[in-house]
Chains A and B, each alone.
Chain A
């Protein structure tokens, strides 16, 4: 079952622009994580934000979490062609023990 749902399903931008992806979820969570998947490869963990945190940064990545709206956003600043990939949010429900993934956003950065 999918807990998180990403929006948009696909995003195409020019190199240098910012990319914003959103994730909504249904139940209370312990933490929310973002992953990147290059075509045909495994997923790479990008960042984890806990339920008591509102914002987190890692390099060109900025993640926000709004638990009242049950939503999160991932911002990639100054995008590069190498950022072309699928991006997934994943949540750990508060009373669960498994990471549940959304369907992902496909990001294409044109050079």
Chain B
């Protein structure tokens, strides 16, 4: 069964900490995405990547960075966590071709910054 795996379901971090959210897919997909989901705001795109070592900013990249050293892994980095980054983070992947195919999502990481 193909899947996208996010390393943690729940995470609690302190303000100012550097936080790494890991995402791994086993479908050999070219595209990978990081979204955050907040009540009333829906899903907002943070960053995406269409190839190894390539990245593009989404709608809300401020306070985040990403890394894609291998095709199957896409990491989201919170350089200095803040309370307004408390959210549900969702990783997704898709085949090449811009959104021509459906996305496969991971189960999400609920991050709380205290």
Contacts of B59 in A (CB 8 A): 1
Q: How many residues of A contact B (CB 8 A)?
A: 24
Contacts of A45 in B (CB 8 A): 102-105
The A-contacting residues of B in range 48-76, CB under 8 angstroms, are 48, 58-59
Contact A97 B98 (CB under 8 A): yes
Q: How distant is the Cα of A41 from the Cα of B106 in the complex, in angstroms? A: 8
CB distance from A2 to the nearest CB of B (A): 6
Contact A33 B102 (CB under 8 A): yes
Other 19 A-B pairs with CB < 8 A, given A40-B88, A98-B45: A2-B42, A31-B99, A33-B103, A35-B103, A40-B108, A40-B110, A41-B107, A42-B4, A42-B105, A45-B104, A45-B105, A92-B98, A92-B99, A92-B100, A97-B98, A97-B99, A98-B99, A100-B45, A103-B40
Residue A82 CB within 8 A of the other chain: no
Contacts of A33 in B (CB 8 A): 99, 102-103
Contacts of A44 in B (CB 8 A): 105
Contacts A33-B102, A92-B99, A99-B103; is A41 near B45 (CB within 8 Å)?
no
Contacts A48-B102, A97-B99; is A42 near B42 (CB within 8 Å)?
no
Contacts of A18 in B (CB 8 A): none
Contacts of A97 in B (CB 8 A): 98-99
In the complex, 29 of the A-B residue pairs with CB atoms within 8 angstroms, ordered by the A residue number, are A2-B42, A33-B102, A33-B103, A35-B103, A35-B105, A40-B108, A40-B110, A41-B108, A42-B4, A42-B92, A42-B106, A42-B108, A43-B43, A43-B105, A45-B104, A45-B105, A48-B101, A48-B102, A88-B43, A92-B98, A92-B99, A97-B99, A98-B48, A98-B58, A98-B98, A99-B99, A101-B43, A103-B41, A103-B42
CB nearest to B88 among chain A residues: A40
Contacts of B107 in A (CB 8 A): 41-42
Contacts A1-B59, A88-B42, A98-B45; is A43 near B99 (CB within 8 Å)?
no
Q: How distant is the Cα of A45 from the Cα of B100 in the complex, in angstroms? A: 13
Q: Which of B40, B41, B45, B90 contacts A43 (CB 8 A)?
A: B90
